[in-house]
Amino acid sequence: MDDSCTTVAVQRYLNELAGVAGNSPAEPLVRALLGRSVDRLHLLCATMLFRSYPRLTRPPLNLQTDEILSSVVERLLKAMKQVRPGNVRQFFALANRHMRWELNDLARRLDKETNAVALRDSLAAAPDSSGSQVSPNTHRILDAIAGLADNEREVFDLVRIQGMTHAEAADVLGVSPKTVQRRLNRGLVLLTQKLGDLQSAPPADRA
């Protein structure tokens, strides 16, 4: 896949969408846009799934990249009825947001089912804690990350959650690596302020 050609093609579709009148059907253009960007969306889905949510790839879910991609495409078809990204960076940021939401929804559902099974089993055998329940501190950290401004959250997600280099994140966002570093530093400062009462530093605050 020629990534630069994909970027040019995506921007062309976004420009066409910007010219579509409010009452005119935009879905054919959106579908064409998603079809043209599907390879990069697939790569982003795989990166986020296997680096940030590997437990979802194991039983009982055995989640596959194609399943996430399908759900994200459906989410984007709905979202882009109201939201029209103006450039490539905004489009992939929107896609990343919906990937994260989809995976978070699946993770919460898995936790609820796991906890329900553990509770049911405890009625019979009172087993040791499975350790699968998300702790209150973890919820606080996730909420703090979700509460960052869009720019800081996007960079934090790409670099500290998805594991991209500054250069890779800069390419996705259409900014310089220095801008990525500045936004990441600002996000980490805000997270430290919000989570400073925790005994350990936020898990993402690592080299």
- The C-alpha atoms of residue 141 and residue 146 are separated, in whole angstroms, by 9
- pTM for this model (two decimals): 0.60
**Above 50 in pLDDT, residue 14?**
yes
Pick the CATH number of 135-207 from 2.60.40.10, 1.10.260.40, 3.40.50.300, 1.10.10.10: 1.10.10.10
Q: What are phi and psi of 45, to 5 degrees?
A: -60, -45
Q: What are phi and psi of 51, to 5 degrees?
A: -90, -35
**Above 70 in pLDDT, residue 106?**
yes
The total of other beta-carbon atoms located within 10 Å of residue 37's CB is 22
20-34, 64-78, 128-142, 190-204: segment of lowest average pLDDT: 128-142
